[in-house]
Structure 1
Amino acid sequence: MNKLPRSKLSFLLAAGASAVLLAACSSSNDSAPEPDPVPPTTQKSNILFVVIDDFGLDQLTSYGYGGAVPPKTPNLTAIAKAGLQFRQAWSMPTCTPTRATFFTGRYPSSTNILNAVVSTDLANSEISPYEVTLPKLLRSQGYTSALIGKMHLTGTDLGTAANLPYGHQTMWKLGWDYFDGYLDGAPYPIDTRAGLSNLAEGTHKCGFVSNTTMDPTNGADSGACYFVTNSCEPISRSAQIPTPGRSCMERGGIFDPGQSCQSSLPTHLDFTTQNGYYTGEFVQSWPDGRTRKVGATDPSARGYRSTMETDRAVAWAAQQDQDTPWMMSVGYSAVHAPLQVPPLALISETTPGRNDNLLCSPASDLEGVPGQITGLIDDHIITNLMVEAMDKEIGRLLVELKLATWNPDGTLNYQPEKTNTVVVVMGDNGTYVNSVKFTAPGQFDPTRAKGFPYQTGVSVPLLVAGPMVEQPGREVSHQVSSPDLYQLFAEIAGADLATQVPSNRPVDAQPMLAYLTTPGHGAIRTLNFTEMGTNFTNPSTTATPQPCVLEAANVCFTIFPNKALCDDQSGIWYGAGSGLAGVPADGFSQCGQVMSYRQALDADDQVDVLPDSQKAVSDGLYKLVRLDRKTYTTDTANPINASYLENVNTDELYQIDMAVPNPKLDRSGSAIAVGSPVITAPLPADAQQAYDKLKAEMDTRDQVARYNYLYDTVHCPGDGNRDGVVDQTDLANWTELSQLNLYEGVAQSSWYDFNHDGKTDATDRAIIEKNMGKTCSLSPT
């Protein structure tokens, strides 16, 4: 029988004893040196908002979870110990909807930002410049603001930039004084040529040239390390440099294996291609409207992403006037796919996998176990390494902002009461499927992770520390939701939503400040809500989404327009160029065909369709999940003939409890009752009462979603700025947008594209003129 290598078997199945790491992650002690913080003043508090990507509650030992071998997060633990830890914080199931709630205070169905934005979506599914965004709100209180790193609030500048009306000025138009980050939703795929254009794709799957132990065929133990500045250094394997190719990549270079440095760059070195976490493509914008794009050929865009993101945040903060309060939002790309090993310097010597020469190498596919299991183990190890590296950079961020210092033993000495800065850390959605901690403590559910409204997909860490936090070290058990941060930041800044946000379109956010200032404060939010759906698709795009299947989640979806994005998410592509036997050359167009194809190969195949709409609401004890999913006919003999049948609605009722060490989760098969379209079977009295309450809220949210989805075309065509009236302001806004982002002489998608045809043209102007003077309700009630 094939056996799993001892080191990896131990990693996957080790007992929860490693949770003792938590005790070693103390934030400060009485004998520790005093930090040198910025002294508190009468000035309004600065705000540092850190968003972590694809990082669920399952990862953290401070919450009592983390799996058998948790990642080391001493600095996040230090923040938790110095402030508050919210146990029932919900995000939305995917990134763009959650991040939009932070800065608008509105649920996704209030803005039509229903899923992660891709290039084939309309601008109508992005944050509108007419919203009272958080940076605009804080500006009214004298704040300056910056957004650093990944936030994925807009379309990209790829191709014709069809959903980016303001181009590289977009973040400035949305209210940020400074932007230095990515328009993309994730790092680019790993460059498996490692920057060597004379090699075939897939030669170096880690993104660097392996050593000869890792890859005897293509590896190298010496060579030349070239940099984009045209400089070069010889580099050889040693005790300090176990893998020269990796060391060169970590420094931003390209390793030419087995070669010596030449006087000019060899022509086969490709510095233009992005390489996962080791390059970036930063867009910068300033208050005066200037913009700049920094790509992989710029030295400042080469290095490790978590480090580059920290460096950029520190640089901006250092330039700020101490008399002006600021809010800086820092979006770390980690731990979003692609999973890629971080620099050795950011990882402790004792961390499992740090010195594993077989990790992320061709040899790891030859260890005598099914590739799918091997890949999952490697994914867990690499995730841990990436989390630890990010945690180290978050600690450095606090230290270099002078909010903390390092203790002699390397732990973080963080005393927020001696600073004038509030620090807030939150995950944007649950952990992605391949990285979920499914073992005890925690035992989260990878089949219901990111992309689903179940607990594994939306239960995220939320840490808040600052000078106004009373009795730090507390845990708040009350429910909070991602849009509530909008109101929390407003409260911290002293902004009055009643005077700043139009009364006819109130936000969904609930207040949170009382949890910081008043220990023991009762619950403010009675119901928690999360949702995701389907963005408006651009019919003018030449790229058409095709099916992708995530095996580990048993789900098929048609969101990605190309194979590269599917591959990047560890999916199997069934679109054009899939390379799978029996799949047409131009691919399948929908998931019904994919399911028929798979069932022809295996009648018991369990892959289902990602719902068009997913919502969940909870009172903290019971949880209602509502799904709206396409169904298809089945034709295993000729899968291309499978066709759309109808959409089916389903209600699922669960009991939940985020207990320690193993929470009660909404796992498959654990529902109290399931009904289609609603639950009609008799329920116990408590469950029935809860269902009636949750169903009423869900029905209301469905009504809101339907109303807003049809607002442009049915309820109030012509009101592009959503102020409830079609007037000259709308005509002026259309005039501006109709002259921007032209393609073949016509402006592309914008918030004034009322017929959703991907163009902002004379047809949309005619809609405004036809409805001029019309007043509309901004809600269905």
Structure 2
Amino acid sequence: MIKRLFRPASVVALAATAALLTSCSDSDSGSDKVASAKPNILFIVLDDLGVDQMTSYGYGGVDPARTPNLNAIAHAGVQFRNAWAMPDCTPSRATFFTGRYPSQDNIQNAIVATDLANSSTSPYVLTLPKLLHTVGYTSALIGKMHLTGSDLNNAFNLPYGYDSMWKLGFDYFDGFLDGAPYNIDTRAGLTTKGADVDSGPYKCGFIPTKHIDAANGADSGACYLADGSCSQLSIGGDVTTPGRSCMERGGILDPGQSCKSTVPSYIDFTAQNGYYTGRWVKSTEKGNGYVMPASDPSSRGYRSILETDRALDWAKQQPSDKPWMLTVGYSAIHAPLQVPPVSLIADDTPGRNDNLVCSTRADSENTPVVTQLTDVVDSHLITNLMIEALDKKIGDLLVGLNLAQYKADGSLDYHPEKTNTVVVVIGDNGTYVDSVKFTAPGRFDPTRAKATPYQTGVWVPLLAAGPMVASPGREVPSMVGSVDLYRLFADIAGANLDAAIPASQPIDAQPMLAYLTNPSQASIRTTNFTEMGTNLRATDASASESPCVIPAANNVCTTLFPQKGVCLTQGGIWYGDNLSSETSGIPATGYHNCCQAQAYRLTKGEDTTFLPTATKAVTDGTYKLVRQTRNQCDPAMGTAADPTAYGYSKTAYGVEDEFYKIDTATPNPALDKEGSQLTAITAPPLDTSSLSPEQQQAYSQLKSQMDQHDAVADYNWNYDTVNCPGDGNHDGVVDQKDLDNWKELSQLNGGQSSWYDFNHDGKTDAADQQIIQSNMGKTCHMS
């Protein structure tokens, strides 16, 4: 049997809870809040925003974004200097609400349409909102969270459809099932400019002025809104770019035209346009989920604004005598990078009114090196604008909730000790390649960013403020992980975790609350862990996979992106069907694995690396062990004349360990960059003969931890097929509950993928029922 990586810390948790109750009752003098009430919880999740962007951490590069409101939260509470998330979106976000590392639930990567439901958050796990229900809390989720699949591909991996978030315990959901904003509509909503959103000339999603684009620009036009109304716009007053102003209002500009009585047929409100549209899904305390499409007037507008407004609308309806947890998942700053409304940007911020980034004139097509440089400059400029806009809406959120107010100079006046609300802010993973600040201070590494286990990919900002915080304005140097937030929120709410957590589903979360209440609290974690891998897919899914190579990330090749548009949004080159100009000379159907793409690229003199099938890291705070597992090609490269003959080996995988020394210093931390490893990178175990005794001991201990994590991952990866077939709810026994659950799911969503698809064929059918019946009464557990 395999040892569980679970260490109860009941004494610390109970002590911290007692300190919380004392703090709430003793430190509220002068406040008009009810001190004895359970605190409300506001949880803010930032997308793809790592510590490299944060001036409160002493970083931000040579030209940091303005974040006065995030800085105010840090100064009014505590800032965790050494917080890790998972390398990618869904695995991190699942840890917040399950308290379990991703491999416990096979949630190894961002969920896409071709993944099985078995790799999405299970309704049979005690999620955080379900736990908080036991102590009287109401929970809402607004915006993005990406805990489940979407309804793409005929809802293949979405058994409960639009009620999915309700089934996970959220009383109210108003947000997105998709993992990111859709591609920017480069046609700016005009079907006359191309067949699809990637075929137009407007790379920022709006029509620039003629000064910026003489051929395609417009200085005036008719601005149509989705409700059919129209207004004339032209340069003058607050309008410097009619196309941008119209987009910011949720409209589409008909360039150089006057308003007509009916909306012209070439105005397309059904197409999504990056951050200025959304396909909102809503569900209430009774489920009743439904969709508000991008063509609905309420679905149009800048996401950071709509996400804030919808959060405030919900909070204002809550009774004052019932505690709530409100999670706001902001979409920013996930790709695609798109300029925000000028109203959210200070007048003197560089680039506020500069639309040159939205013109092909910003690129030098005949000088690739210059083009690459201008692309980086443009990406950093837009990133800064998006972060400033996000920061402004976070300030508006706090003010709208009556937790703060704006001073005359526009700065935030925030005194959390006078409120009864805990505010926690975290990034879901490190910054993505194009936005990473690689200059001093910080000098982070864009080639080892989001989707990697390196520091730039997993080191995230984590801020916490509230009435129980002692000595606000301090930093906590101790290691914490995204998984620990589950226990933090449970302890704040007063939930009894030891009694609530099933023995068959132990959590990995360690206590955190004591760091808020006790400035001298010693470190609780001895190690921190992060992981990302490959989600479960149907047994025949490999035939429809398509490679995407991302040049800015060391030419890494991945088949995680199911559509061309998603690949292009990530700055990638698409090698699947519907080929682009960079991939001439390959079959019209494209390639179906990275070995084929690599063979093609080698003929062009271009290298390729494979995104690991599994990537993990563990640290003791000083030393860090990284373990990567990559596919190997079979047959060996070069033995076949036709690249389509290549595929992945079914038996050979490349496993390598990397060993680093790191720190979290300012202004420039020691990062695990290429070439900084302490010994040669090889298959484990490493040759440590050249290391000091201290380093050898550290490696030995971290390798032991990593081996245990590998064992847990392997056990759960084979849970459905080998270790406990028939136990779809993972309660450790195959029984009548499993038959009842199978029956329900086999009748939902056409009996497609679900947590009871044991043979992983994408169906919940009689074959899975037979597996339950054949294993009835079997007990399974890890010890």
- In structure 2, the CA distance between the partners of 1:524 and 1:254, relative to structure 1 (3 Å rule), is same
Paired with 1:573 and 1:182, the residues of 2 have a C-alpha distance of 25
One-letter code aligned to 1:696:
S
- CA contact 1:543–1:561 (8 Å) conserved in 2: no
Q: Decide which moves more: 294-303 or 651-660.
A: 294-303
Q: Which residue of 2 aligns with 1:462?
A: 462
Aligned-pair CA distance for 1:116: 0.3
**Match of 1:246, as an amino acid?**
R
2:569 corresponds in structure 1 to 568
Q: 1:321 to 1:400 in 2, by over 3 A?
A: same
Q: CA, structure 1 residues 179+36, in 2 after alignment: closer, same or farther (shift >3 Å)? A: farther
Following the alignment from structure 2 to structure 1, what is the Cα–Cα distance between the partners of residues 618 and 234?
57
Give the corresponding residue for 2:626. Answer: 625
Q: Does the residue aligned with 2:358 lie in a helix, a strand or coil?
A: coil
How far off its partner does 1:37 sit? 8.1
Paired with 1:252 and 1:350, the residues of 2 have a C-alpha distance of 25
One-letter amino acid of the counterpart of residue 684, structure 2: P
Superposition pairs of residues 222-261 of structure 1, within 5 angstroms: 222-261=220-259
SS of the residue 2:191 aligns to: coil
Cα deviations by residue, 1:301-350 (Å, 9 ceiling, x for unpaired):
11100000000000000000000000010000000000000000001111
The CA distance in 1 between the partners of 2:413 and 2:565, in whole Å, is 43
Partner of 2:65: 71
1:137 aligned onto 2:127: no
**CA apart distance, 1:723:** 0.7
Matched, 1:738 2:746: yes
Aligned residue type for 1:618:
T
TM-aligned CA deviation for residue 565 of structure 1: 1.0
The one-letter code sitting in structure 1 at the alignment partner of 2:683 is S
Contact 1:648 1:677 in 2 (8 A): no
Find the counterpart in structure 2 of residue 4 from structure 1.
none
Q: Which residue is 1:62 aligned to?
A: 56
- Letter in structure 2 aligned against 1:707: Y
Asked if the contact 2:596/2:646 (under 8 Å) is kept, the reply is yes
Specify whether residues 266 and 36 from structure 1 end up closer, same or farther in structure 2 by C-alpha distance, changes over 3 A only. Answer: farther
| Residues 20-39 of structure 1: pairs in structure 2 closer than 5 A | 39=33
Check if 1:748 corresponds to 2:752: yes
Structure 1 residues 41-83: Cα deviation after superposition (integer angstroms, max 9, x where no partner): 3110000000000000100000000001001000000000000
CA distance in 2, matches of 1:547, 1:503: 41
* Secondary structure class of the residue paired with 2:363: helix
Of residues 662, 687, 692, the one that matches 2:695 is 687
Q: Judge conservation of contact 1:36–1:404 (CA < 8 Å) in 2.
A: no
Distance, in Å, in 1 between the alignment partners of 2:190 and 2:371 is 27
Q: CA deviation at 1:541?
A: 6.1
Report what 1:538 is aligned to. 538
Q: Which residue of 1 aligns with 2:601?
A: 598
CA contact (8 A) 2:203 2:358 kept: yes
- Match of 2:372, SS state, is helix
**d(CA) in 2 for partners of 1:159, 1:609:** 26
Percent of residue pairs identical: 61
C-alpha separation in 1, matches of 2:618 and 2:734: 34
Deviation at 1:111, TM superposition (A): 0.7
Whether 2:733 is the aligned partner of 1:725: answer: yes
Residue 140 of structure 2 corresponds to residue 146 of structure 1: yes
Alpha-carbon distance in 2 for matches of 1:441, 1:475: 19
1:298 to 296, 303, 318: 296
Q: 2:674 aligns with which of 668, 693, 707?
A: 668
Q: Give the AA of the match of 1:533.
A: G
Alignment of 1:97-246 (within 5 A): 97-200=91-194, 201-246=199-244
Partner of 1:410: 410
Output the amino acid matched with 1:751. Answer: W
Contact 1:53 1:335 in 2 (8 A): yes
Amino acid at match of 1:570: G
Return the alpha-carbon distance in structure 2 between the equivalents of residues 669 and 71 of structure 1.
30
Deviations 1:121-158 (A, max 9, x none): 00000111000000000000000000000000101112
Task: Give the count of matched residue pairs.
Answer: 740
Q: Which amino acid letter does the alignment assign opposite residue 482 of structure 1? A: S
Counterpart of 1:96, as a letter, is T
Query: Deviation at 1:35?
Result: 14
Structure 1 partner of 2:6? none
- Residue type matched to 1:776 in 2? C
1:719 CA displacement:
0.6
2:504 touches 2:730 (CA, 8 Å); kept in 1?
Answer: no
Would the aligned equivalents of 1:38 and 1:403 in 2 still touch at CA under 8 Å?
no
User: How far is 1:698 from its partner?
Assistant: 0.2
* Aligned counterpart, 2:663: 657
- The 4+ residue runs of structure 1 with deviation greater than 3 A are 34-38, 366-369, 539-543, 636-645
* Distance across 1 between alignment mates of 2:594 and 2:493: 48
Match runs of 1:430-579 below 5 Å: 430-539=430-539, 544-554=544-554, 555-579=556-580
3-state SS, counterpart of residue 186 of structure 1? coil
CA distance in 2, matches of 1:556, 1:750: 29
Question: 1:624-681: per-residue Cα shift (whole Å, max 9, x none)?
Answer: 0001111223239643344435211101000000110000000011100122132024
Give, in whole Å, the separation in 2 of the partners of 1:583 and 1:436: 33
Partner amino acid, structure 1, of 2:67: T
Partner of residue 770, structure 1: 774
Are the aligned partners of 2:281 and 2:289 in contact in 1 as well (CA < 8 Å)? yes
3-state SS in 1 of match to 2:557: strand
Q: Distance in 2 between matches of 1:71 and 1:292?
A: 37
1:60-113 CA-to-partner distances (Å, cap 9, x unmatched) read: 000000001001000000000000000110000000000000000000011100
Deviation at 1:756, TM superposition (A): 0.7
Distance 1:256 1:541 in 2: 43
Question: 2: distance between equivalents of 1:366 and 1:617?
Answer: 43
Q: Say which SS state the counterpart of residue 51 (structure 1) adopts.
A: strand
1:585 to 572, 588, 596: 588
Asked if the contact 2:688/2:696 (under 8 Å) is kept, the reply is: no
Q: Contact 2:224–2:251 at 8 Å: present in 1 too?
A: yes
- State the 1:586 CA deviation: 1.3
User: In structure 1, what residue type is equivalent to 2:717?
Assistant: Y
Task: Give the distance between the partners of 1:607 and 1:71, measured in 2 at CA.
Answer: 33
- Conserved? CA contact 1:36–1:403, under 8 Å: no
Please name the residue that 1:697 is paired with: 705
Shift of 1:360: 1.9
Which of 651, 675, 684 in structure 2 is aligned with 1:677?
A: 684
Distance 1:282 1:540 in 2: 31
Q: How far apart in 1 are the matches of 2:655 and 2:456?
A: 22
Q: Which letter maps to 2:693?
A: A
- Please tell me the residue identity of whatever aligns with 1:259: Q
Does the alignment pair 1:644 with 2:648? yes
Counterparts of 2:137 and 2:212, CA distance in 1: 52
Partner of 2:19 in structure 1?
none
Tell me which moved more, 291-300 or 686-695: 291-300
Conserved 8 A contact 2:181-2:336: yes
Given the two structures, how large is their TM-score scaled by the length of structure 2? 0.93
1:600 Cα deviation (Å)?
Answer: 1.8
Using the alignment, how far apart are the partners of 1:711 and 1:638 within structure 2? 38
Structure 1 residue 366: deviation in Å? Answer: 3.9
2:359 to 355, 358, 361: 361
Task: Output one character per residue of 1:550-601: Cα deviation in whole Å (capped at 9) or x when no partner.
Answer: 1011111111122111011110111112232222211122112222222222
Answer whether contact 1:107 1:483 (CA < 8 A) is retained: yes
- Give the deviation of 1:288 after TM superposition: 1.7
The match for 2:722 among 714, 727, 731 is: 714
Q: Does residue 400 of the first structure (1) align with residue 408 of the second (2)?
A: no
CA distance in 1, matches of 2:376, 2:210: 24
Which region of structure 1 is more displaced relative to structure 2, 630-639 or 706-715? 630-639
Aligned to 2:613: 612
CA distance in 2, matches of 1:458, 1:520: 26
Gaps of 5+ in 2: 1-27
Q: Which residue is equivalent to 2:763?
A: 759
Aligned to 2:312: 314
CA separation of 1:248 and 1:765: change in aligned 2, threshold 3 A: same
User: Contact 2:601 / 2:607 at 8 angstroms: preserved in 1?
Assistant: no
The answer on whether the counterparts of 1:203 and 1:218 sit within 8 Å (CA) in structure 2 is yes
